[in-house]
Amino acid sequence: MTMSQMRTLLIVDDEVDMLELLVEEVQSWGIKVHSAASIKEAMEIFRTEPIAAILSDISMPGGTGIDLLECVRGMGRDTPFLFLTAYDKKEFLLQAMKLGAIDFLEKPYNNQQLQDAVFKALEIGVRLAAVENSIYLMAAPESIAKQQKYINLLRIQHAKRDRKKNVS
């Protein structure tokens, strides 16, 4: 992940005015932002772009922010997830926390609280990416060794076939 990818936030809100306001605010902090007005659009972005964290509304047409969080977790991704909503339902809060949401902010939001939460989420996202990369790198030599053994076996089998053809 490059430095700009480490600081990439996906913002999801069906209210276009709120979405534009959030994008402008977060970009002013030097953070790269992708935005989506629906869960479907958010998942398309999430599948194709390196996203360090997600900030989502809860109540949206076509599904909830909880549905989006479940989709992300269903992909095996632990991307840090923040909720910003005017929707005050404790069952959503509990469900979000069980799925690993790291913060839950209410609209209207306090700019400093939002900024602190976003930076915390991005920091967690960067750390997760570093751990994933180190695990991959640690596994790479073992994987390469296994691949090399497989290649050697294929070469031996190929050589045996060639010998049989030459004998016949």
Q: Could you say which residues of the chain have pLDDT below 70?
A: 1-6, 88, 132-155, 157-159, 161-168
Question: Across-strand partners of 9?
Answer: 33, 53
- Domain spans in the chain, listed from the N-terminal domain onward: 3-131
Distance CA 49, CA 109 (A): 27
> Tell me, what's the pLDDT at 116?
96
Q: Work out the percent of the chain whose per-residue pLDDT is above 90.
A: 49
The side-by-side arrangement of strands in the sheet containing 8-12 is 32-36, 8-12, 53-56, 81-85, 103-106
| 30 burial level (CB within 10 Å; 0-12, 13-18, 19+) | exposed
pLDDT at position 158: 56
Q: What contacts 95, CB < 8 A, 6 or more positions away?
A: 66
Homologous superfamily (CATH) of 3-131 is Response regulator (3.40.50.2300)
